[in-house]
Amino acid sequence: MPANPFNTPPPYEGGCACGAVRYRIEAETIGSRVCHCRICQKAMASPFLAVASFPKKAVTVTGETARWRSSERLWRHFCPKCGSSVTLEPLDGDRLGFPLATLDDPQSINPEMHIWVSAKVPWLMLSDGLPQYPEGSPEPYRTA
């Protein structure tokens, strides 16, 4: 699956709500997803998480983060001052995920699919025409 054609080209910049943590990304996304799973709902205090992933080597993060391990496969990094979730770090790949809402221009990257829609809140209607999968994505991340 290609990147969403409505994305603007890199670089991308973003950060947490208080500004103590900032990041810069020098590559196109290798996959952008809206996750409706219960862990993302809880971790983001939100009905879903829209997140884009990038090759680790293309990312610079500045400022101190704290982290917790939400599953065997994932660290979630957040700003210890304001609590914003900033980075998702899978243990099984050389990539980092950044919530689209933390981008300085949150419209610059668009989702490509919805995953874990089996846990989607029923009052949220999806009308964007993107593929929907009941659990994880059947498609791997693109190679950079």
> Would you tell me which residues interact with Zn ion (CB under 5 A)?
16, 18, 20, 35, 37, 40, 79, 81-82
Q: Least CB distance from residue 12 to Zn ion, whole Å?
A: 18
Of the chain, the end-to-end C-alpha distance in Å amounts to: 13
Q: Which is nearer to Zn ion, 57 or 138 (CB)?
A: 138
Sheet of 49-55: strands edge to edge? 66-71, 74-78, 85-90, 95-99, 49-55, 31-35, 113-115
Q: Least CB distance from residue 119 to Zn ion, whole Å?
A: 8
Q: Which is nearer to Zn ion, 10 or 74 (CB)?
A: 74
Q: Least CB distance from residue 105 to Zn ion, whole Å?
A: 18
Q: Which is nearer to Zn ion, 10 or 90 (CB)?
A: 90
Work out the number of other CB atoms within 10 angstroms of the CB of residue 114.
Answer: 22
Round to whole Å and give the CA distance between 64 and 56: 17
